[in-house]
Structure 1
Amino acid sequence: MASFEVIGGKALKGEIVPQGAKNEALQILCAVLLTDEPVTISNIPDIRDVNKLIELLRDMGVKVGKLSTDTYRFQADAVNLDYLDTPEFVAQGRSLRGSVMILGPMLSRFGKCQLPKPGGDKIGRRPLDTHFVGLEKLGGKLTLEGKDFYRISTQGRLHGAYMLLDEASVTGTANIVMGAVLAEGTTTIYNAACEPYLQQLCKMLVRMGAKISGIGSNLLTIEGVERLGGTEHRMLPDMIEIGSFIGLAAMTGSEITIKDCQIQELGLIPDTFRKLGIQLEFRGDDIFIPAQEHYEIDTYLDGSILTISDHTWPGLTPDLLSVILVVATQAKGTVLIHQKMFESRLFFVDKLIDMGAQIILCDPHRATVIGLDQRNRLHGITMTSPDIRAGVALLIAALSAEGRSVIENVEQIDRGYQYIDKRLTALGAQIRRL
């Protein structure tokens, strides 16, 4: 396994361009299975999870052509359904969380799909119930083989249905939408996710010929069509990476400009960092973060301690809470971080405590951070990256810390962040891949 050696305590400076959105890519790439016509997608991030999904599509028989460093053309006119019964497919599906996104399009277009329980981060329970319950309401019949292999099929076309989702799952909503666009009749999805990535998927499907109304709300209405055509699509910049760079600038006292951010799609992210006392300036579609010696956490109007928590869109994405927690360790003041969705995502704070941070882990979902106000800098240690988001949070901590840190298992970071060591080195960071 690879490691990063980080020499911290250095201010960075310069401009950085965020990669394409990882969470959007996993949905958009699977949508190419809905048509036999070419689909061109640009701003695709060159990261492990996305590359493994592209490899899976290619092995399923999708024609894949790389047009430039971030642009691919896909054509699913000869999908090999027999490949889904091979040991190779099972191994690929188990290793990649994004493999779950083939369920909706495969069932919708080909009438069947099978899938082993997908892999991915060990951040707590991530049930697939919303996916399967929604697809079953459209007419899919689910069979469970053992504890972790699923088969779903339908006789003829899927049919439209009304459903009220028990959770506003982004990937669950996406799978149901991709199942419904080719179904017979009208599908109504209430309590649908409405994240920008889901909006991007719906807009792409509409360009392909789908009939979807309510995009951007939690009530989607889909009139099924006979077939979809090809299209071109450009993905949004990754909001998680943008937030990570804001946190990095604050922790290291750096002056950084983040380019081409699509600020209107960032939701609460800029204001959440402002609550930590971080100064941001919008310059067109760029975000400028000046070098700050200190930043102070807000309190509520009555003086009580600020709580920052995750929520479904338009609430704060859970993927940024690890970074926000790290940034708070060097702020002035105290904040309660409440991670509602995943019960294991805060279990990296022991490493921050070993670095000198003052954190009380209240329970699996909540941690209280007492900021050090830059008076006592973190110090370098050897640590292991447990998941994508905790991994980049630990990298930010190491870059702000005094001395040498080693971060092991950086393959987790590579799953979600494109050439992160090279891009940060260009800003003046000292990172060496071992």
Structure 2
Amino acid sequence: MQTHFTEDQLRDPAIKRANEILRSCVHCGFCTATCPSYQVLGDELDSPRGRIYLIKDMLEAGRPADKKTVEHVDKCLSCLACMSTCPSGVHYMHLVDHARAHIEKTYRRPLFDRLLRWTLARIIPYPGRFRWAMRGARLARPLRKFMPDPRLEAMLEMAPPKLPRPSANDVPQVFPAKGVRQKRVALLTGCAQKALDTDINDATIRLLTRLGCEVVVAKGMGCCGALTHHMGKERESHAQAAANINAWMREKRGDGLDAIVINTSGCGTTVKDYGFMFRNDRLAEDAAAVSGMAKDISELLMELDVPTADMGQRVAYHSACSLQHGQQVKTHPKTLLKRAGYEVVEPADPHLCCGSAGTYNLMQPEISKELQKRKVTNLEAKTPDIISAGNIGCMIQIGSGTGIPVVHTVELLDWATGGPKPRKLSPTAH
């Protein structure tokens, strides 16, 4: 793609990077075949190629974002399926992230939109606040059909009927390895996950310590910054990311770290991009080191001696977009589940998003519900006993549309190697 940025514009590192990405696009349109929003809406401007044109025009002109550009960029899930499909290697993630930051700085949204986004950014990344919000939403849930905006209805529908108690495992501490220590790893415990499903981190710690890992929950660690990053709120997201970088590097420089393990793939994609996010910052070296140590739980488990088992249950594996497209981790979870003796099946169109995508299911509920319906239909067609996924957002999204239990991959592996049966599989769980 031909671009016309001025020399003065290209002195800005963000514009320089955007120019590199735009020039790598050859307009082939392969991305439209795998773009979920284009599949639902059928509008060229709601495909990666269409959004790239809008972003190019906005950035080249050096103007504030307009309503049309904002509308179509907002409908992007950042599922990154386009990056898996693109034969030219267009790094759409960095381009759309830059566009969102530009929108946040230059576009004045309607008052209700601003309040909604402000509220989400100040609640979801903080587990304590999020718990209180979920309790309030649960009380107001019977009134959801009377909400004046479908986004408020979606937020009330998200509230689970019951929240688990906070886990003692999620506070800063060290869990010693069982037997001979093979690795020392830091666990990102997440934010919303700590409020919605404490079983995931508990299972991760049991499994890793059983396999010879010393697991550290680092002091000062918090939200990875993904949620605010994808809303274009760079100041907030970079502050959250910087706190994590400092927390993990203290551990690295202290007793050492072999890896930073992440069991929420949406967080993993962002942490692995810290090096890019801070490339022009005083934390550049530390951020690059953290990104280099970051591993999805399935990547780390492939390095360990996970024993085989013979579980027998039929598991439909849902590959989270942030894992298969954002991190290009596609086979490890299935390999591990098969090694544990599960019968693993995959739904049709496994590359398409379930519609969760961070806060997308709250901000774009109509598109999200259509994608949820398609994903659940494809998963249920495989008649599984269990649906497995590696991302809390996907688990909540799919679980709210089916009666089949949705369990994190690590919970199934923990069960197969001596841990307790996941609570979601008990008859009283539904």
- Same structural fold, with TM-score higher than 0.5 when normalized by the shorter chain: no
- Structure with a larger share of its residues in helix: 2
Tell me which protein shows more strand as a share of its residues.
Answer: 1
Greater relative contact order structure (CA < 8 Å, 6+ sep): 1
TM range (shorter): under 0.3
